[in-house]
């Protein structure tokens, strides 16, 4: 059995107000993506890491690999126009004859707790497809300018990553989406759309995505040394 992590790194970072993709911004002298990579490097259940990225960042990624001893990073491949294209490109570089699971994780989620990752990787062996999520804690409403109705939060979840799938399931789901020119918001949507069940696994509030300027400030506060 093999566990492979795909960490798409082709985003522009525009919402974060940066002039380079947010995953390459430095915090305490270290690129954001380096924090993310170190989580997967330290996980004993992860065998390999693949990063789809823009070609102009291949050199930087190789430097990060060497500087932080990310030995599990075996391939850096060209990303696509959309995140889904990037993940598909990475998936196409996987060749395996054994039972393989693929964990797709956002490059800009650097604080993934190792216990959350380990638990999910163990659970996927039983359920084949796992999505990390956290149950909504706040009151949820429908409406535009004014409140229209309230949503029962008990069955509402905020989706995170990693999302982990049996290799064959993710491959079939992505090939179907490509054939039908369908773009989903994430991989779990594609896998569910292809007819596979997706198990919800426990996430963490720490596992937030660094997307906006306020997220950057929060990450700085948490990692301040």
Kindly write down the DSSP assignment for every residue of 57-121, as one continuous string: GHHHHHHHHHHTT-TTEEEEEE--SSHHHHHHHHHTT---SS-EEEEE--TT-TT--HHHHHHHH
Burial classification of residue 168, based on how many CB atoms lie within 10 Å of its CB (0-12 exposed, 13-18 middle, 19 or more buried) = middle
CB 127 within 8 A of CB 169: no
Is the N-terminal amide bond of 137 cis, ω within 30° of 0? Answer: no
| Torsion-angle region of 13 (φ positive above 0: left; ψ -120 to 50: alpha; else: beta) | left
pLDDT tens sequence for the chain (225 residues): 999 999 999 866 555 556 788 999 999 999 999 999 999 999 999 999 999 999 999 999 999 999 999 999 999 999 999 999 999 999 999 988 789 999 999 999 999 999 999 999 999 999 999 999 999 999 999 998 999 999 988 889 999 999 999 999 999 999 999 999 999 999 999 999 999 999 999 999 999 999 999 999 999 999 985
> How many structural domains does the chain have?
1
Quote the domain boundaries for residue 190.
Answer: 2-223
| Paired sense of beta strands 26-27 and 30-31, if any | antiparallel
CB 23 within 8 A of CB 108: yes
* pTM higher than the cut 0.75: yes
What is residue 18's predicted lDDT score, i.e. its pLDDT?
Answer: 61
Q: Output the DSSP codes for the chain.
A: -EEEEE--B----GGGT-SS-GGG-EETTEEHHHHHHHHHHH-TT--EEEEEE-GGGHHHHHHHHHHTT-TTEEEEEE--SSHHHHHHHHHTT---SS-EEEEE--TT-TT--HHHHHHHHHHHHHHSEEEEEEE--S-EEEESSSEEEEE-GGG-EEEEEEEEEEHHHHHHHHHHHHHTT---SSHHHHHHHTT---EEEE--TT-----SHHHHHHHHHHH--
Of 111, 108, 109, nearest to 18 by C-alpha is 108
The CATH number assigned to the domain holding 132 equals 3.90.550.10
């Amino acid at each position: 059995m093999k566990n492979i992590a795909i960490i798409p790194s082709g985003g522009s970072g525009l919402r974060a107000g940066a002039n380079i993709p947010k995953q390459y911004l430095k915090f305490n002298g270290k690129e954001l993506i380096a924090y993310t990579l170190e989580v997967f490097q330290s996980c004993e259940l992860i065998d390999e890491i693949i990063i789809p990225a823009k070609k102009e960042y291949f050199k930087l990624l190789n430097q990060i690999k060497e500087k932080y001893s990310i030995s599990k990073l075996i391939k850096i491949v060209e990303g696509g126009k959309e995140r889904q294209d990037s993940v598909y490109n990475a998936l196409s570089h996987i060749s395996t004859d054994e039972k393989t699971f693929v964990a797709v994780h956002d490059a800009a989620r650097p604080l993934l707790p190792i216990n959350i990752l380990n638990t999910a990787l163990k659970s996927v062996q039983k359920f084949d497809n796992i999505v990390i999520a956290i149950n909504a804690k706040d009151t949820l409403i429908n409406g535009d300018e004014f409140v229209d109705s309230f949503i029962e939060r008990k069955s509402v979840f905020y989706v995170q990553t990693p999302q982990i799938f049996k290799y064959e399931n993710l491959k079939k789901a992505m090939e179907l989406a490509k054939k039908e020119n369908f773009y989903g918001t994430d991989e779990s949507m594609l896998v569910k759309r292809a007819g596979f069940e997706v198990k919800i696994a426990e996430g963490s509030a720490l596992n937030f995505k660094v997307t906006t300027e306020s997220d950057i400030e929060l990450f700085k506060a948490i990692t301040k040394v």
